[in-house]
Amino acid sequence: MISTPLLIDGEERATAATFPVYDPAHAGAIVGYAAAASAADAQDALRAAQQAWPAWAALSAAERAAIVLKSLDGLDTDADERADILSRENGKVRFEAGIDLHVFVGRFHQAAEFAPALDETEQIAGPPFSTTIAKVPAGVVTIIYPFNWPLAILAASLPYALMAGNTVIVKPPPTTPLSSVRTLAHLVRALPPGVLNVVTGPDEVIGPVVVGDPRVRHVCFTGSVGGGRRIMAMAAPNLTNVTLELGGNDPAIILPDADLDEAAFGRLSFATFMTSGQVCMAIKRLYVPRARYGEVVDGLRAGLEGTRVGPGLDPGTTMGPLNTARQRDYVAGLCEEARAAGTEVLTAGELTGESDGNYLLPSLVLDPARGLKIVTEEQFGPALPVIPYDDEAEAVAMANDTWSGLCSSVWSADTEHAMRVARQLRTGVTFFNNHNATAVDERAPFGGFNQSGIGRELGRQGMVDFTETHVMSVPS
C-alpha cells in the first residue's frame, strides 16, 4: 500500500489524518493513502514559501533555470514505478502514464529556453525620460491541477513559475495525488527549502489558505468552470492574479476536400478518445459535410471496433476506465438522454475488465438535436456527437455557438482554405488535420476564450505571466 506525505520547507511531513486513493478499474480497491493537510499545515507551507522567496527571486533567471533543471536529476531511477502508480490511481493505460511523466520533464527543458530573456530589460531612450522596463518575480504562486494528465499539466506552469523567480505551493488532485507527490519529492530534495512545497488534502481546508491568503500573489488553476469561479471568488478580496484553464467543448470541422485515409481516421479517433475522452482539448463535437457523413461515421466506427476497455495496467487494454464513477454515470446519462430523444448511439469495442470498474465503451452519437447536452456540454468521456452540415458558414456558426473557446481543428487538403475557416473560429488554439495534446506546439502560448479560461500557459507568454512589470524612469 502506497502512502505519501506533505512536502513543506524541504522536508517530508506525515499527518495524523490521511485519505484513500481509489483504483477506478476495481470498485472499492485502494491504491494508497495521501496525507490530509490541516489549515495549520497549509499555513506552514505558505510561510515557508514566503520566507524562501527573497533569496530565490534575487537569483538571475538563468541561474534559477539551471538549478531547477538540476533538480530533475535522478527522476528516471523510479520512473516505471511512478508510471504504474499513475496508471492505477488515474485509470489511464500504462503507455499514456509513461508519456505523462515524459512530458513533465520535457516541459521543464522547454521552459528553460525562455528563462534567460527575463534577465534582459527593455530600454526607452529619452527625452523626456530614459526608461527601463523589467520583468520581476510576482511572489508566492499556488498551482492547482486536475487528475487527467496531472504531471504534464502541472509542468505547463510549475517550471515557468519557478524559473520566473516565484516560490510555489502545489496542490495535487485528490483522486491522483500519489504519483505527483512521489515525483515532486525528487525536486523538493534538490531545491532550496521552501522554494517548492506540496500539500494534499481537502479543498475546503487548504483552499482558503493557499488561494485566499493575501501573501499568495498568483493562483494557477486547471479544472472545471465551476472550480474556476470558486478560485476567482477566493482570490478576489486580495486582487490576486489568476490563470485559469477551464476546459472546453472543442469543435472539429471536416471540410469537403479533407483527405480521410486510415491515418486521418486514426488521428480523429485518438484526438477524441485519448484518456477515455478525459482531456480538456479533446474533440467534443465533430462537424461533417452531409455528403461525406456516412463515410466519416463508418471510418470512425471501424477504428473503434478494436477498442479494448479494461484496467490500465493490462497490456491488452487500449482504453482505461473513467477516473470516477460519477463521471462515468454523467457521460452514460448524456448518451441515454440522446437515445430517449430518438438519436442513434453507436457503441463499439469490447469490455475486457471486470464490470465493477468505471468502464464505458466508446460511443458515436449520430446527428443529435443541437440542444441536447451531448452537444452543448463538455462530455469529458468517450462519447462523440457527429453532426452533419450543409455549408461552411453553417459549420462555423455551430462551432462558435458555445460557452467555451479552448481548442478547435479544421481538416482539409487545402491549407489556405483551412486557414480562412480557422480565422473565423473563436478558440485559443486551432489545429490542422489533427487535434488534442499531440498537436500542441510547446513553444506557443496555450489557453482559451470565453469561459475556457483566463491567461495563457506555455511559451514566452506563459513565463511572463508569472512576473510583474517594473518601470523605472529617469528624467533626461
Q: What is the pLDDT of residues 22-56, one digit of tens each?
A: 999 999 999 999 999 999 999 999 999 999 999 99
Burial of 426 (0-12, 13-18, 19+ CB in 10 A): middle
- Close Cβ partners of 245 (under 8 Å, ≥ 6 residues apart): 221, 222, 223, 280, 406, 446, 447, 448, 452, 453, 457
CB distance 313 to 94 below 8 Å: yes
What is the per-residue pLDDT for 326?
A: 97
Q: What is the CATH number of the domain that holds 426?
A: 3.40.309.10
What is the per-residue pLDDT across 327-361, written as a single tens digit (0 to 9) for each? Answer: 999 999 999 999 999 999 999 999 986 778 999 99
Q: Is residue 370 part of a domain?
A: yes
One domain for residues 202 and 284: no
Q: Is residue 290 part of a domain?
A: yes
Q: Which H or E element spans position 210?
A: helix 203-210
Matching residue, cell 478518445: 273
Q: What is the CATH number of the domain that holds 130?
A: 3.40.605.10
Give the C-alpha separation, 467 to 227, whole Å: 24
CB distance 168 to 182 below 8 Å: no
Q: What is the mean pLDDT of the chain?
A: 97
467-475/251-254 β-pairing: unpaired
3-state secondary structure of 171: strand
Count CB neighbours of 20 within 10 A. 12
What is the per-residue pLDDT across 53-69, written as a single tens digit (0 to 9) for each? Answer: 999 999 999 999 999 99
Mean pLDDT for the stretch of residues 351-374: 93
One domain for residues 201 and 272: no
Please give the backbone phi and psi of residue 364, each rounded to the nearest 5 degrees, phi first. Answer: -110, 125
DSSP string spanning 28-79? T-EEEEEE---HHHHHHHHHHHHHHHHHHHHS-HHHHHHHHHHTTTTGGGGH
Please give the backbone phi and psi of residue 242, each rounded to the nearest 5 degrees, phi first. Answer: -130, 145
One domain for residues 265 and 235: no
Catalytic residue list: 245, 280
C-alpha cell at 466: 508569472
Mean pLDDT for the stretch of residues 407-434: 98
One domain for residues 14 and 56: yes
One domain for residues 98 and 227: yes
C-alpha cell at 90: 488515474
The rounded Cα 17 to chain-centroid distance in angstroms is 28
3-state secondary structure of 204: helix
Tell me the pLDDT band of 476, cut-offs 50, 70 and 90.
Answer: confident
Tell me the pLDDT band of 170, cut-offs 50, 70 and 90.
Answer: very high
DSSP string spanning 173-199? -TTS-HHHHHHHHHHHHHSPTTSEEE-
* Edge-to-edge strand list for the sheet holding 241-245: 11-13, 6-8, 196-198, 167-171, 140-144, 216-222, 241-245, 453-454
Please give the backbone phi and psi of residue 346, each rounded to the nearest 5 degrees, phi first. Answer: -95, 125
DSSP string spanning 385-402? EEEEESSHHHHHHHHH-S
Mean pLDDT for the stretch of residues 237-244: 98
Give the C-alpha separation, 223 to 344, whole Å: 31
One domain for residues 214 and 290: no
What is the per-residue pLDDT for 69?
A: 98
One domain for residues 55 and 204: yes
Mean pLDDT for the stretch of residues 446-472: 97
Spatial CA neighbour of 320 closest among 366, 365, 381, 245? 381
| pLDDT of 186 strictly over 80 | yes
Q: Is residue 218 part of a domain?
A: yes
One domain for residues 211 and 354: no
One domain for residues 255 and 212: no
Q: Is residue 143 part of a domain?
A: yes
- Per the structure, how many domains does the chain have? 2
C-alpha cell at 452: 475556457
C-alpha cell at 125: 531612450
Adjacent-strand bridge partners of 472: 132
Lowest mean pLDDT among 262-271, 349-358, 390-399: 349-358
Give the C-alpha separation, 204 to 123, whole Å: 46
One domain for residues 182 and 280: no
What is the per-residue pLDDT for 354?
A: 73
Expressed as residue numbers, the domain containing 303 is 251-434
One domain for residues 234 and 274: no
Q: Is residue 443 part of a domain?
A: no
What is the per-residue pLDDT across 71-122, written as a single tens digit (0 to 9) for each? Answer: 999 999 999 999 999 999 999 999 999 999 999 999 999 999 999 999 999 9
What is the per-residue pLDDT for 1?
A: 86
Query: 453-473 b/e with 16+ CB inside 10 Å = b?
Result: bbbbbbbbbbbbbbbeeeeee
One domain for residues 261 and 240: no
Q: Is residue 441 part of a domain?
A: no
CB distance 388 to 289 below 8 Å: yes
What is the per-residue pLDDT across 3-25, written as a single tens digit (0 to 9) for each? Answer: 999 999 999 999 999 999 999 99
The rounded Cα 85 to chain-centroid distance in angstroms is 19
Q: Is residue 440 part of a domain?
A: no
What is the per-residue pLDDT for 256?
A: 97
Q: Is residue 323 part of a domain?
A: yes
Residue 299 to residues 36, 146, 223, 345: CA-CA distances in angstroms? Answer: 47, 32, 32, 15
